[in-house]
């Protein structure tokens, strides 16, 4: 508990992280990774066939992807670092200690990727026939660099769910080469190809006027889509096969309480729809409606969004599986917190101990320290809103529930701290949910110490 607590009481900091992350993943996977592979391959094909029309299509499509990648992609890339540093500073600090050199290498690869993208974009029209082979090589290098950024980042993200032998060895390589790294990488690559196929189909449908050439591009892109359709289901199943059994048990909860059979059915139907659209594009490109490309995009976004949301949720109660709980408390901290308390252990707590006169203020601080990373106050999501969850409960029931959190729900961390801190938290929740107008303790805490005082 080395950092101040950042709260978004209605949305929750986890929602902020999720929204930025999903937007960034769509851009980074679809436009950057998938886009670079698609464009490099298309330019190479145009070069080999001496197809000027295909080359010009790739150049114009690159302009669109260039703008999206360097604006929205860059903004959300910085934004996700900002959001996770605010919402989960302990997790980021721990990951940086383990993966410092991986992130350092990723930064070098990323800067190389951006440099190659800029060169690739601005030299397309200026390189003449004698230099075209060099430009094709630049495109291939850009695609390789873009994919390698995914290789590195996927290793870090996968380790949060499956740290593997790192829990014992504390070895960088055990953490990076974890059980779900390769499956996750293969699945993400497949979805990246599906995303760019949807983008390309939409772009071709809306911008190409030549009916014959439009049919050619749609049929060509349909083959890309077909490949991704055939690889998404097996790579997704490969990924799930490497997930810890206890985490698999949370799939139903993570997917919105639909049962496992429904979960599999929905994903299978989605893959089948993309498969049929791919066949339509390949064999009936002349009659391909633009709306189908939107269907591909929506389903591709669903798959990558589903993976991100499920991956986040099935880790619970951990932020780093088997090492750090979702509220930033590590396994090694538990005995200390249960002995001296969470309030005295937090550098930024405005209350250091519970007294007869400060129970509500102390309870508010305990909530911020242990609960606010997941739960909200009068928030938009009833499954996370502490007021709605405990509505109508007597104070004693709230206290007993908190004392046995992990017994009631094994996706929740146990309560850490002294009995009087738990009682203060129970009293604050009870007071808040029965008389919210009498509590100015509903205050945000953004990087500075803020004292909450009852009116």
Q: pLDDT tens across 191-238, in order?
A: 999 999 999 999 999 999 999 999 999 999 999 999 999 998 899 889
Q: By mean pLDDT, which of 159-163, 299-303, 399-403 is the weakest?
A: 299-303
How high is the pLDDT of residue 236? 87
CATH architecture under which domain 331-438 falls: Orthogonal Bundle (1.10)
- Could you tell me what percent of the chain has a pLDDT over 90? 69
d(CA 375, CA 383): 9
How high is the pLDDT of residue 341? 95
How high is the pLDDT of residue 130? 66
Contact at 8 Å (CB) between 274 and 229? yes
Task: Identify which has the larger pLDDT, 450 or 279.
Answer: 279
d(CA 39, CA 26): 17
pLDDT over 60 at 447, yes or no: no
Reported confidence tier of residue 252, pLDDT bands at 50, 70, 90: low
Write the pLDDT tens digit of every residue in 58-73: 999 999 999 999 999 9
How high is the pLDDT of residue 445? 34
Q: Which of 415, 424, 341, 433 is nearest to 371 (CA)?
A: 415
How high is the pLDDT of residue 452? 35
- pTM, full prediction: 0.88
For 182-189, what is the mean pLDDT? 95
Write the pLDDT tens digit of every residue in 25-67: 999 999 999 999 999 999 999 999 999 999 999 999 999 999 9
What are the residue boundaries of the structural domains of the chain, listed by start? 13-325, 331-438
d(CA 304, CA 29): 9
Contact at 8 Å (CB) between 315 and 249? no
d(CA 423, CA 399): 6
Task: State the CB neighbour count (10 A cutoff) for residue 63.
Answer: 11
pLDDT over 70 at 257, yes or no: no
d(CA 18, CA 28): 15
Task: Identify which has the larger pLDDT, 120 or 377.
Answer: 120
Contact at 8 Å (CB) between 198 and 290? no
How high is the pLDDT of residue 384? 86
For 243-272, what is the mean pLDDT? 76
344 dihedral zone (left: phi>0; alpha: psi -120 to 50; beta): alpha
d(CA 326, CA 416): 13
pLDDT over 50 at 454, yes or no: no
DSSP for 258-310, please give it: --HHHHHHHHHHHHHHHHHHHHHHHH-GGG--HHHHHHHHHHHHHHHHHHHHH
Cα angle, residue 160 at apex, residues 315 and 107 outer, rounded to 5°: 145
């Amino acid at each position: 508990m080395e950092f101040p607590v950042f709260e978004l009481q209605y949305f929750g900091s986890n929602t902020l992280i999720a929204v930025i992350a999903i937007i960034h993943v769509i851009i980074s996977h679809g436009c950057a990774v998938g886009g670079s592979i698609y464009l490099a391959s298309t330019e190479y094909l145009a070069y080999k066939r001496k197809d000027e029309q295909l080359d010009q299509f790739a150049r114009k499509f690159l302009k669109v992807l260039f703008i999206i990648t360097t604006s929205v992609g860059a903004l959300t890339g910085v934004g996700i670092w900002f959001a996770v540093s605010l919402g989960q500073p302990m997790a980021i600090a721990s990951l940086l200690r383990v993966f410092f050199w991986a992130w350092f290498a990723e930064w070098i690869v990323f800067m190389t990727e951006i440099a190659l993208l800029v060169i690739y974009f601005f030299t397309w029209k200026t390189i003449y026939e004698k230099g075209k082979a060099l430009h094709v090589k630049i495109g291939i290098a850009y695609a390789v660099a873009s994919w390698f950024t995914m290789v590195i980042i996927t290793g870090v993200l996968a380790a949060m769910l499956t740290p593997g032998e790192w829990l014992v060895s504390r070895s960088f390589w055990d953490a990076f080469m974890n059980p779900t790294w390769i499956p996750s990488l293969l699945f993400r690559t497949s979805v990246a190809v599906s995303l760019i196929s949807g983008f390309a189909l939409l772009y071709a449908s809306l911008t190409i006027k030549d009916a014959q050439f439009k049919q050619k591009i749609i049929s060509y892109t349909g083959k890309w889509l077909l490949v991704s359709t055939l690889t998404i289901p097996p790579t997704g199943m490969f990924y799930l096969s490497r997930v810890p059994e206890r985490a698999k048990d949370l799939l139903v909860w993570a997917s919105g309480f639909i049962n496992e059979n429904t979960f599999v059915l929905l994903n299978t139907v989605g893959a089948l729809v993309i498969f049929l659209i791919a066949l339509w594009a390949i064999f009936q490109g002349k009659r391909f409606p633009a709306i189908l490309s939107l269907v591909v995009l929506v389903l591709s976004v669903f798959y990558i969004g589903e993976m991100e949301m499920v991956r986040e949720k099935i880790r619970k109660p951990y932020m780093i599986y088997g090492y750090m709980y979702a509220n930033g408390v590590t396994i090694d901290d538990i005995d200390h917190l249960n002995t001296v308390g969470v309030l005295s252990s937090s550098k930024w707590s405005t209350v250091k101990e519970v007294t007869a006169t400060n129970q509500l203020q102390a309870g508010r601080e305990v909530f911020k320290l242990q609960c606010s990373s997941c739960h909200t106050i009068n928030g938009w999501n009833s499954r996370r809103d502490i007021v709605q969850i405990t509505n109508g409960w007597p104070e004693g029931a709230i206290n007993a529930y908190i004392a046995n959190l992990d017994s009631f729900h094994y996706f929740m961390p146990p309560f850490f701290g002294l009995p009087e801190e738990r009682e203060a938290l129970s009293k604050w929740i009870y007071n808040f949910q029965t008389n919210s107008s009498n509590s100015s303790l509903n205050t945000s805490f953004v990087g500075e110490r803020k004292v909450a005082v009852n009116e």
